[in-house]
Chains A and B, each alone.
Chain A
């Protein structure tokens, strides 16, 4: 379980950005890849704890799931994996381990208090 330390990093980074721009944060938007190694539910739970006692207390974490996108060498284009237990093209079945998306763990936006 490393989600708490990741949640604390998210709070720190969001807070730093908010202070720099002199804004107050209502929610933090995050892209979370299926291959990031981070469990969404554990992260959401940890975020609340990590916010406690900080200016972000009471703010929300809005998670956008990013599916695994691989490059299919046969179809010659990016494809979304049907299952993370099966790294092959969902259309032609060719095996591929060239991952384009799915490892994201990125803060994309801060939702500001009105």
Chain B
């Protein structure tokens, strides 16, 4: 008698449901001409401060809005709202990351056609958000100088899933003896060719270069849309 296990072959992507919704979102964003940028990082890396500064600087030139994920509070949404752009909070409860369905749900009654740029701030977490496509065009991973240069090596999955790295709080770099070259080498090790920006949202240093980059990305994507 054979004791070979009976195997029934199936092939099912466990995250299919999320991926399908994310694809739908991406199509919708493209159709409406909205360029979507998500932000991931560990808690306390300065995501909200960086985003508030970005929104404030973009607001005179673009129609901008933001979604922000947080476990329990609406503090981040209140801070971002000071920039004067529409902001909506996604409270995830105990969930440590955003999923495409949450983004879809919170966009339900928004007219995307009225937006040039939409930012999605993920929950502060360098592990779980890596697995979930949100339909974004560009994923930024933030790394503050106070966290140490080896963060990319400790969390290669999320750094590899991102398109651009932003080093924040550069005004504190000297005080914490942040080693720029090592940080950059570590980023390139886990994501060769990744574009890196160094900014201080506090002093404004480096923000110009980042905003120019975004403007180019947005212009390129709207060209594609209008063709």
In the assembled complex, the CB of A47 is this many whole angstroms from the nearest CB of chain B, namely 12
Contact across chains for A85 and B156 when beta carbons are under 8 A apart = yes
Per DSSP, chain B at the interface is mixed
Residues of B within 8 A of A107 (CB): 10-12, 14
Residues of B within 8 A of A112 (CB): 5-8
Contacting residues of chain B (172-191) with chain A, CB-CB under 8 angstroms = 188-191
A23 to B8, CA, bound (A): 10
Is A13 on the interface with B (CB-CB < 8 A)?
Answer: yes
Asked, given contacts A84-B190, A87-B191, A96-B192, whether A110 binds B8 with beta carbons under 8 Å apart, the answer is yes
In the assembled complex, the CB of A8 is this many whole angstroms from the nearest CB of chain B, namely 10
* In the complex, per-residue mask of A100-113: 1 if CB is within 8 Å of any chain B CB, else 0: 00000111111110
Residue among A9, A99, A106 making CB contact with B160, cutoff 8 Å: A99
Contact across chains for A84 and B192 when beta carbons are under 8 A apart = no
* In the complex, per-residue mask of A71-114: 1 if CB is within 8 Å of any chain B CB, else 0: 00000000000001111100000011101000001111111101
Is B109 on the interface with A (CB-CB < 8 A)?
Answer: no
Question: A residues engaging B (CB < 8 A)?
Answer: 1-2, 5-6, 9-10, 13, 17, 21, 23, 26-27, 29-30, 35-38, 84-88, 95-97, 99, 105-112, 114
Q: Show 20 A/B contacts (Cβ-Cβ < 8 Å), sorted by A.
A: A1-B96, A1-B127, A2-B96, A6-B131, A9-B14, A9-B15, A13-B12, A13-B14, A17-B10, A21-B8, A26-B5, A35-B157, A84-B156, A85-B153, A87-B192, A88-B189, A99-B160, A106-B12, A109-B8, A114-B6
Question: B residues engaging A (CB < 8 A)?
Answer: 5-15, 17, 95-97, 127-128, 130-131, 153, 156-158, 160-161, 188-194
User: 19 other contacts beyond A1-B128, A85-B190, with CB at 8 A cut-off?
Assistant: A6-B14, A9-B17, A10-B14, A13-B12, A13-B14, A17-B8, A17-B10, A35-B157, A36-B131, A37-B128, A84-B156, A87-B189, A87-B190, A97-B194, A106-B11, A107-B14, A109-B10, A110-B10, A111-B7
